[in-house]
Amino acid sequence: MNVALPDAPAAKLTAPEARLALAVWLYQVERLSFGDACALAAIPLREFEAELSRRGIPLGYNLAELSSDVADLRALGHL
């Protein structure tokens, strides 16, 4: 997806900073998954996780996701 940003001196955001800010916000409002937010921000998972931590945003990991992960691990023979 391409987004045209106006040349506004008030914004003072680089394109990577804008992508990161948008990715964090969309993740925080539960519009993007963690992986999709990382892809939008174009940064590695650990770096995105650290950015969320710096901003005081908890990782959204709920019981349904845990159950799914446990089922996947069982199917792979790891549990």
What is the count of structural domains for the chain?
A: 1
Model confidence, pTM: 0.68
C-alpha of 21 from chain center? 10
Nearest to 65 by CA among 38, 24, 30: 30
Q: Is residue 8 part of a domain?
A: no
Which residue type sits at 6? P
Q: Is residue 57 part of a domain?
A: yes
Q: Would you give per-residue pLDDT tens digits along the chain (79 residues)?
A: 666 666 655 568 899 999 999 999 999 998 988 889 999 999 999 999 999 999 999 887 777 777 888 898 899 999 8
Range of the domain at 23: 15-75
Nearest to 48 by CA among 26, 15, 72: 26
